[in-house]
Structure 1
Amino acid sequence: MREAFEHEREVWIMYQSVSNAAGPKGANGTVRYALDANAVFDEILLDPRLTVAETTAMGAGLAALRWNGAAPRSSLCEAPDFTIPAT
C-alpha cells in the first residue's frame, strides 16, 4: 500500500482476461463475483467526468443492485470555487 494514500483504505477489484481460459464467465463475457457491497464498502464515488444524467443513471443502477448508500461524483478533480479580489 502506498503510504501517502493509506488513510483512503481503497479496495480495487482487478481482473485480467486470458483468452480460452476457464473461469466464472457469464453472458457476454461478464465476470460475476459474489459480494455484499453494503457490508464491504463505506462509500461509492463515481467518476467526476460523468454528466449529471450519467451520475443519476449509475446511482439508479446501483440502487437496483441493492446498494443502500449514496453514489455521488467524486469531487477530487473539481476546480476550487473561489474569488480573487481585485487590488
Structure 2
Amino acid sequence: LVEALTGCTVNLTTLDGRNLSIPITEVVNPGTEKVVPNEGMPIGKEHGRKGNLRIKFDIKFPTRLTAEQKAGLKRLLGG
C-alpha cells in the first residue's frame, strides 16, 4: 500500500532473460496498468519486433488496523 501511494521500482525478468527495472512514480490504484513499449511478446513474422508489455497492479490492502494505526493514517492523510 505504501508503494502504491509513494512509488517504487518494479524489477522483472523478461521472456528472453533480460532484467528490467521499471520506475513507478504515479499513485497506483487497484487494476492500474503500466505499459512498457516494445518489451512484450514478439510480433508474428516481423523479426525483432515486440509488442508492448502490460503490467497490471493488484494492490493488497490490510485486513485490519489498530485504532492507533487508523489515527496515524488520518493524521498523515488529513482525514
TM-score normalised per structure 1 = 0.20
User: Which structure dedicates a bigger proportion of its chain to strand?
Assistant: 2
User: Which structure dedicates a bigger proportion of its chain to helix?
Assistant: 1
Higher relative contact order (CA 8 A, sep 6+): 1
TM-score normalised per structure 2 = 0.22
